[in-house]
Amino acid sequence: MSLPDLVVEPIVRRALEEDLGRAGDLTSEAVIAAGTAARGLFVAREPGTIAGLQPARLAFHLIDPSLLFTPQLSDGGRVSAGQTIATVEGDARGVLAGERVALNFLGHLSGIATATARLVAAAGGKSKITCTRKTTPGLRALEKAAVRAGGGSNHRYGLDDAILIKDNHIAIAGGVAAALRRAQTHAGHMTQIEIEVDTLAQFEAALEAGAKIVLLDNFRAADLAAAVALNRGRAILEASGGITLESVAAVAATGVDYISSGAITHSAKSLDIGLDISRL
């Protein structure tokens, strides 16, 4: 589930530059004697699903390549409170300089993985959980990787890798059928087309126009079930809008193929992870 370091390193580098500023870690330089060695333990303070080990490793590597970051599990691993996630050893100044950036990535991305895993479990395998483009600017690739670590799947990465016709496109294009026709004419043979509908009448119009993927936005469970029955397997169906841990089981029970959630990226609570350091 890791990305190429080439993709992740610039994101981590910007975070380190933001934290270290123009003069580096003044506190560690002042307080810690040069050459002091230390060992740090990344410890979960609460149960959850881990993601973000790669940017955490890179945070230390970019500061000091000699620092040894050793994960105790992989992204997607489940942890309990008090469990060690990873260790880091080497020059104490380097460990402390990278500590906060590593923890920020690890906690934030593990929070996304944990929120995703909970939705996946609640859906009971009846529908796949997928994310949206409601991500933190600059962190989309990492956040989508965290969704995968939590057992979810990824929606499109941006405006350039798939066509998703939404309500505003439909309004400007002159209706569901007109919007779909334009998209079908424009798209290359490798480009997927999905259309968002708000009512069963729009859904029927989309099917008649040859839609292959339909997003059912803010449908009640009864209407989702009706759409599944009308569909008869013709299109992939995605339910979206206000999905919660309390509602996802009922949505999955309707038979939709995918359930998308923006909350798993834009509102996930950071997993509480600490770094316990000792001198070697």
Active centre residues (catalytic): 100, 134, 166, 196, 217
CA distance 142 to 218: 27
- Residue 190 backbone class (left: φ over 0; alpha: ψ -120 to 50; beta: rest): alpha
Q: CA 76, CA 49: separation in Å to the nearest integer?
A: 6
Tell me the HSE value of 279 on the side-chain side, using a 13 A CA sphere: 5
Please name the helix (run of DSSP H) or strand (run of DSSP E) that holds residue 79, with its range, or none: strand 78-79
Residue with tokens 């929120």: 115
Phi, psi of 38 (to 5 degrees): -145, 160
Enter the tokens of residue 137. 């600017």
């996930």: which residue's tokens?
A: 268
